Chains A and B, each alone.
Chain A
Amino acid sequence: MMTLTTSCQKIWQSVEETSPTSATLGGDSMLETLDIVCDLVIPSTETPGAKAVGVSQWILGAVDNGLLATSTGELQRFAELLSTDFPFLQSTAAEQSQILAAIDNRAYIEHSQDETSLLWQKFKTLILMGYYTSEVGASQELHYELVPGRFIPDVEIKDGITKAWSNDWTAVDFG
């Protein structure tokens, strides 16, 4: 994992140095792209989804800060790769869903090591982090209880209605 990240960094460092910033992917276009991707991963259901809770904006800041060893250059590169065959923003909703599903399949089912797959693993992770650490994601979609005041070691789960605890730090840290 460490090696993977390091080699990724090297690749993208060189990309950053050579590729000019695409005007179409700066500012609003980037936000629009991210919003679409966010909602394809975590849509609004009974609780608001990733776009609604502002995950895109959070990702822009996180990427700029270097979380998960990402960079703004990597994010731009990923957005470009989304548009490899046809401009992502100009595609229909169904096409956008197909494009992302194909990428997700390649990354997680085929375990491809191509650049799109490697970048997607990072940005999918960031979307999940952004969503499940937001107030809605952590405390409405999941269960959040800062001061439980109890430890009950064995609770029966009834018909799948028991939500996972977002603040089970052991589970979050160990993954």
Chain B
Amino acid sequence: MSTQVTTDFDAIVVGSGITGGWAAKELTEKGLKVLLLERGRHVEHGRDYKTEFKAPWELPWRGEGDQQLFKRDYPIQSRVHHLNEWTYQHFVNDREHPYQTVEGKPFTWIRGYQLGGRSLIWGRQTYRWGDVDFRSNSRDGHGVDWPVRYEDIAPWYDHVEEFIGVSGAPENLPQLPDGKFMPPMALNPVEAALREQLDRTYPERRLTIGRTTNITQPLPGRSPCQYRSICARGCSFGAYFSTQSSTLPAASATGNLTLKTNTLVDKLLYDADRKRITGVNVIDTETGARKSYSSKVVFLCAGSVNSVALMLRSTSGTFPKGLANSSGVLGRYFMDHASSLAVLAQIPGFDEHYYEGVRPTGIVIPRFRNLGETPDNVEFSRGYSYQGGAYRLTWNRGRRMAGLGTEFKNELQKPGPWMFALTAFAESIPRASNRILQSNKTDSFGVPQVLFDFEHGDNERKALQEAAAEARKMVELIGGRVLMSSGEPNEGGMAIHEMGGARMGRDRADSVLNSNNQAHDIPNLFVTDGAAMASSACQNPSLTYMAFTARAANYAAELVKNGQL
């Protein structure tokens, strides 16, 4: 049957965050009429960043926020230090957006329900995954083999980096491939000293400036970074990548984009005869009104957990266990990096050195474990990497100092001692037992709440233990006095790198998506956010999501234009 079906749009994109913006941009630029759906409110670039230029003394709670409000409405979101009086409006209200966890397995789910999603508040660290990452599952047998290799995704990394702007230093490391970089931000003298010591003592360990989408050269409509490091308030300079600063203007400029905010997708509609998604049912979150939209293709970009949850609740006679779930693995192999403060150390000397400006990125020490043909002599598989940096303490150190009066005040006026902090991120092993489920409770829209069943495993713990020990050794190379060091993983979710649940794979029997992020079961359904990941690597994943999204969107656009979808 090749009956031409009339649809409202060529494509519907669910979610307007990092990947949704990319899907909308690529699809509209290929000439498709796109409906971009966002459950949260509209946030206009610049105009709606209402706290951006406020000094602490211009806010009622000096930046600390209304504690009673935070306790009532943001008890979970406020666990991350990005949330404060300037930024909390870019995080979800926990009271209005509840979720469940399995007893004894806490999970912190950090979200931003607004136009731009978490692209407004993300950490902006931008790393390619290496060939070793796309081969990891096949090498040690955890998870299923990726259906792609580095060379498949490399041109799409180029494509994304050139558009979003990434500052960073080339280092020629296969495990952290170089990209299309703008000039790097500089290392401060203490970081430079550690880099030098590492080169000398551990040639396989490299300290380099964090690669970030804070740009150092102008791009169309965007100014270079102003070195404020207050990104999560929203940046009217457009100096970091967000949907608002980057992909949304591009998509809008095509004239092919329809954007609807305050629109929650309740269900995907499946036509069993045509074996196609026909569209979506939505709820207007302000009025509660229900409506449907149809399209030829649907892109799920709602964030790993919400994309999986939407598939889980879109059941039908064909798919009683969740949409496109003939494999039964939907929701499983869910991951989040295990992270810990590997070391916080005071660094002696460098008293005459300070910096000017507030750099919005730290440093990275890429993975150096288990990179060879044979595994290293360690008790864990895969690896970990560090992010952090050196800085001088400021007035805040007075909280732990004895002293009163003029002498105390004069002391606090000066920059304090140098500190070096290194946070370790260990690769999360894909496990069937770590999963996203539906709870039997619903939210205020009648939509089932997400239930998390997740915990870090022994491999992650062993990796972090070693990471902490190695971090202590490294800072000691520059005389660091260790103040804190932990190899215990933070609670699940705290890395805010949730991935998997609708993994890619070669075999439709044990994966949800093929090598083009296309559902094995349903050719016009694409999932291109973190849900698609088959492994986690140990570097920040957003760039990889963007590259996969752009690649899948171009593939889907061709199919639509050829009349195959």
Contact residues of A with B, CB < 8 Å? 40-43, 45, 49, 58, 62, 65-67, 97, 100-101, 104-105, 107-109, 121, 124-125, 128-130, 132-135, 137-139, 141-142, 144, 146-157, 160, 162-175
Contacts and interface: CB of A to CB of B under 8 A. Distances in A.
Contact of B394 (A42, A45, A153, A172): A172
A22 to B, nearest CB: 25
Interface stretch (B53-61, B280-288, B532-540, B553-561): B53-61
B406 A169 contact: no
B66 interface: yes
B400 A108 contact: yes
A146 B53 contact: yes
Contact of B68 (A66, A164, A171): A66
Given A43-B405, A45-B409, A166-B394, A67 B57 contact: no
A99 to B, nearest CB: 11
Interface stretch (B7-15, B169-177, B180-188, B430-438): B180-188
Interface string B385-405: 000010111111111111111
A166 B355 contact: no
Nearest to A148: B357
A41 B392 CA distance: 22
A170 B404 CA distance: 25
Given A41-B404, A104-B403, A174 B421 contact: yes
A9 to B, nearest CB: 13
B353 A108 contact: no
Interface stretch (B19-27, B200-208, B225-233, B457-465): B225-233
Given A128-B399, A148-B227, A151-B185, 16 more contacts: A43-B409, A62-B61, A104-B404, A105-B402, A134-B62, A141-B413, A149-B226, A149-B227, A150-B357, A151-B356, A153-B355, A162-B354, A162-B415, A165-B394, A166-B394, A175-B393
Contacts of B362: 170
A151 B355 contact: yes
Contacts of B274: none
21 contacts: A42-B408, A104-B402, A129-B64, A135-B55, A137-B395, A139-B55, A148-B228, A148-B356, A151-B358, A154-B355, A157-B415, A163-B413, A164-B392, A164-B394, A165-B358, A165-B394, A169-B230, A172-B395, A172-B396, A175-B393, A175-B399
Interface string B359-379: 100100000000000000000
A139 B395 CA distance: 12
A41 B408 contact: yes
Given A124-B399, A151-B356, A169-B230, A174 B405 contact: no
Taking residues whose C-beta sits less than 8 angstroms from the other chain, chain B's interface range is 35 or more
B405 to A, nearest CB: 6
A137 B412 CA distance: 11
A133 B189 contact: no
A164 B227 contact: no
Contact of A171 (B352, B356, B396): B396
B419 interface: yes
Contacts of A170: 229, 358-359, 362, 389, 391
Closest 6 CB pairs of A and B: A108-B402, A151-B357, A148-B357, A153-B186, A133-B56, A133-B62
Contacts of A137: 395
Best-surrounded residue of A49, A58, A173 (most CB of chain B within 10 A): A173
Contact of B414 (A45, A49, A164): A164
B344 interface: yes
Given A43-B409, A150-B227, A175-B397, A66 B67 contact: yes
A170 B394 CA distance: 10
Nearest to B223: A149
Contact of B64 (A67, A121, A154): A67
A148 B226 contact: yes
B398 A128 contact: yes
Interface string B413-454: 111100101000000000000000000000000000000000
A85 B412 CA distance: 31
Contacts of A150: 227, 356-357
Contacts of B68: 65-66
B390 to A, nearest CB: 9
Contacts of A124: 398-399
Contact of B358 (A129, A148, A175): A148
Best-surrounded residue of B68, B188, B396 (most CB of chain A within 10 A): B396
Nearest to A130: B62
A41 B56 CA distance: 21
A164 B227 CA distance: 16
Contacts of B391: 168, 170-171, 174
Interface in B19-57: 53, 55-57
A71 to B, nearest CB: 11
B326 to A, nearest CB: 46
B227 A67 contact: no
Nearest to B356: A152
Nearest to A152: B356
B123 to A, nearest CB: 13
A109 B402 contact: yes
B340 to A, nearest CB: 15
Nearest to A174: B421
A152 to B, nearest CB: 4
B183 to A, nearest CB: 12
A154 B399 contact: no
Given A142-B413, A151-B186, A100 B399 contact: no
B483 to A, nearest CB: 10
